């Protein structure tokens, strides 16, 4: 049983406060959704949890099973069991998915490097990732949807304790969305994975059914409820929560690519 505990987390970039006191607790086997209008701080939350440079944490704490994550470099947060699927997965020329996963295995305790190829091939079959993608440079020349399948493959092979999924649905067609959601759900049941699923759009939550839904607006959690909260947002949009009146979570993401893999081109 693992718990990611976020208490009063505050973070800023130079000249601008973004996270203004986030409280969230995600435990093994649970699926929490974080929904919110564009620019509300969803990706910032994911970056700060994983330790992206460029943000200053000005208050609060983040622990995984009591261990202070904010004191650790990103790779040690990953070793501790935290996984991030980025909104815009980075292109890594010269490094294949196989290379990346073999390195991840080599760096993790209790996983035999000899298992990794077999596991990757099983998971690639399960997720419909074509074998030729495994040895190609990571994410280079891939569509948004192919990148998201890759991310899910990494999640399935690495088997983290807690996964933060930032807009894992963007760029996916309905069938791929279902395949990926089923795989993530299986991880919650089989491996007791805890999930923090960040999404602007409620369509993900028809497939990846959340136990708890949080609304993030202006850098704060302004509402928390059950799945009915996502259903309500589909009707009302985010207007009640500080979003634009026409900012409804049912809109399908057109996807987007950015030079900075962490950047949100919509912001
Ligand atoms: P979301 O993912 O909810 O759309 P983000 O976390 O990407 O929102 O961004 C929240 C706000 O913080 C946006 O207004 C964005 O422009 C701003 N922001 C995020 N990162 C930076 C940065 N590195 N420098 C300046 N502003 C940033
Ligand atoms: Mg974002």
Asked whether residue 253 is assigned to any structural domain, the reply reads no
Tokens for 101, please give them.
């996963």
Point out the least confidently predicted range of 25-34, 87-96, 163-172, 258-267. Answer: 258-267
Which residue would you say has higher pLDDT here, 249 or 9? 9
Asked whether residue 25 is assigned to any structural domain, the reply reads yes
Asked whether residue 10 is assigned to any structural domain, the reply reads yes
Give the Å distance between the CA of 265 and the centre of ligand 1: 10
Confidence bin at 29 (pLDDT 50/70/90): very high
Asked whether residue 263 is assigned to any structural domain, the reply reads no
Domain range spanning residue 30?
3-89+160-241
Confidence bin at 243 (pLDDT 50/70/90): confident
Q: Quote the mean pLDDT of the chain.
A: 91
| Main-chain phi, psi angles of 15, to 5 degrees | 85, 0
Q: What's the CATH code of the domain at 8? A: 3.40.50.300
Give the Cα separation of 200 and 187 in Å (integer).
Answer: 23
Of 55, 9, 17, 23, give the one whose Cα is nearest residue 222.
Answer: 23
- Position 68 scores a pLDDT of 98
Asked whether residue 97 is assigned to any structural domain, the reply reads no
DSSP code of 185?
H
For the CA of 37, the nearest atom of ligand 1: 3
Ligand nearest to the CA of 38: 1
Task: Say what percent of the chain tops pLDDT 90.
Answer: 78
Strands (E) in 125-204, as ranges, are 137-138, 162-166, 194-199
- Position 65 scores a pLDDT of 98
Q: Stretch 41-64: mean pLDDT, rounded?
A: 98
- Position 250 scores a pLDDT of 54
- Position 86 scores a pLDDT of 94
- Residues contacting 206, CB < 8 A, separation 6+: none
Give the Å distance between the CA of 41 and the centre of ligand 1: 6
pLDDT digits (tens, 9 = 90+) for 158-192: 999 999 999 999 989 999 999 999 999 999 999 99
- Is 77's pLDDT higher than 50? yes
| Cα separation values, 51 from 56, 75, 193, Å | 10, 9, 21
Asked whether residue 46 is assigned to any structural domain, the reply reads yes
Q: Residue by residue, what is the 3-state secondary structure of 58-99?
A: EEEEEEECCEEHHHCCHHHHHHHCEEEECCCCCCEEEEEHHH
Asked whether residue 266 is assigned to any structural domain, the reply reads no
- Position 47 scores a pLDDT of 98
Point out the least confidently predicted range of 64-73, 163-172, 232-241. Answer: 232-241
- Position 257 scores a pLDDT of 38
Q: Stretch 141-168: mean pLDDT, rounded?
A: 95
**Is the entire prediction scored with pTM above 0.85?**
yes
Give the Cα separation of 51 and 68 in Å (integer).
Answer: 12
Which residue would you say has higher pLDDT here, 167 or 257? 167
- Tell me which residue has its CA closest to atom 11 in ligand 1: 39
Give the Cα separation of 37 and 92 in Å (integer).
Answer: 30
Q: Which residues line ligand 1 (CB under 6 A)?
A: 13, 16, 18, 36, 38-44, 54, 264, 267
Give the Å distance between the CA of 43 and the centre of ligand 1: 7
Are the beta carbons of 6 and 23 closer than 8 angstroms? Answer: yes
Give the Å distance between the CA of 119 and the centre of ligand 2: 31
- What domain count does the chain have? 1
Q: Sign of the CA dihedral 49, 205, 263, 76?
A: positive
Mutate which of 50, 243, 267 for ligand 1 pocket (most atoms within 8 A of beta carbon): 267
Of 186, 169, 128, give the one whose Cα is nearest residue 253.
Answer: 169
116-127 helix and 174-190 helix, angle to the nearest 10 degrees:
130
Asked whether residue 151 is assigned to any structural domain, the reply reads no
Give the Å distance between the CA of 56 and the centre of ligand 1: 13
Which residue would you say has higher pLDDT here, 264 or 141? 141
DSSP code of 174?
H
Q: Stretch 42-46: mean pLDDT, rounded?
A: 98
Tokens for 111, please give them.
């996983």
- Strand 194-199 versus strand 162-166 pairing type: parallel
């Amino acid at each position: 049983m693992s718990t990611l505990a976020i208490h009063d987390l505050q973070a800023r970039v130079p000249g601008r406060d973004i996270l203004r006191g986030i409280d969230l607790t995600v435990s093994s086997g649970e699926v929490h959704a974080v929904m919110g209008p564009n620019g509300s701080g969803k990706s910032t939350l994911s970056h700060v949890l994983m330790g992206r440079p460029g943000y200053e944490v000005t208050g609060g704490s983040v622990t995984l099973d009591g261990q202070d994550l904010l004191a650790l470099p990103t790779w040690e947060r990953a070793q501790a069991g935290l996984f991030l699927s980025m909104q815009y997965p980075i292109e890594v020329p010269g490094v294949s998915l196989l290379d990346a996963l073999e390195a991840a295995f080599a760096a993790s305790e209790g996983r035999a490097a000899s298992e990794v190829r077999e596991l990757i091939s099983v998971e690639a079959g399960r997720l419909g990732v074509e074998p030729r993608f495994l040895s190609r440079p990571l994410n280079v020349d891939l569509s948004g949807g192919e990148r998201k399948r890759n991310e899910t493959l990494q999640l399935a092979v690495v088997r983290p304790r807690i996964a933060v999924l930032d807009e894992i649905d963007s760029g996916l067609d309905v069938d791929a969305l279902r395949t990926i959601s089923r795989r993530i759900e299986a991880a919650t049941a089989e491996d007791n994975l805890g999930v923090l699923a960040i999404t602007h759009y409620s369509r993900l939550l028809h497939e990846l059914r959340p136990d708890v839904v949080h609304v993030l607006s202006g850098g704060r959690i302004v509402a928390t409820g059950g799945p009915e909260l996502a259903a309500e947002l589909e009707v009302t949009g985010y207007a009640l929560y500080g979003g634009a009146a026409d900012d409804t979570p049912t809109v399908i993401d057109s996807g987007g690519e950015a030079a900075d893999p962490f950047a949100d081109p919509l912001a």
